Amino acid sequence: MYVRPATREDRAALPGLHTAAVEAFGPDGYDADEVQAWAKAGERLPDDYDVDAPDEHFTVAVRGGEIAGFGHVVLDAGEVHAVYVHPDHAGHGVGSALLAELEGYARGQGCGALSLQSSLNAVGFYERAGYERVGEDESPGGLPVVEMRKELVSDGA
C-alpha cells in the first residue's frame, strides 16, 4: 500500500468508495435512516471532490492496484474533512496511513493543530491517533458528531 496526492482521474472512484464506507461502518454509530441520509447513494459525483482546491489537500491510498481510501484536509481551517476507507480494505492500516499523511502535510504547511468532526463510529479511531474530544455538535447534514482536536508536534520539538 502507498499513499499519494489525489489526481483528477482518481475522482471517479471516490463517490462509490465514500458511499460504501458509510454503508459499511455507519451502522456502528447511527440508525438506518441516518446511515441512508449520510451515504447519499447515487447522489455523490466525482466533481464533488475538488482535488485541485487551493489550501486543501486530497490524498488517496492505493492497495492492490485499487484506490482503497481517501483523505482530505483544509489547511486554512486546520480541519480534517475526511478519512474514508473502502470496506474491502479495512483493517489493513489504510485509514491510519491516510491520517498520518494528512497530519504530516498539515504540519509541513505550518499547521500547529488539526480539528475534525468525527462520526460516532470513528471516534475510537481518532482517539487512538491522539485526537481528544472537545465537544459534541451536528454535522452539516444534521448527524450527531464529536468535535476532536490534536496538537501537531513538530519533528524538531
What CATH number is associated with residue 76?
Answer: 3.40.630.30
Residue 39: inside a domain, yes or no?
Answer: yes
Place of cell 447522489: 43
What is the total count of domains within the chain? 1
pLDDT for 21-70, tens place per residue?
999 999 999 999 999 999 987 799 999 999 999 999 999 999 999 999 99
Q: Please say whether the beta carbons of 55 and 145 come within 8 A.
A: no
pTM value surpassing 0.75: yes
CA 155 from centre of chain: 23
Residue 9: inside a domain, yes or no?
Answer: yes
- Domain extent, residue 81, equals 2-111
12: number of Cβ within 10 Å: 12
Residue 60: inside a domain, yes or no?
Answer: yes
Residue 10: inside a domain, yes or no?
Answer: yes
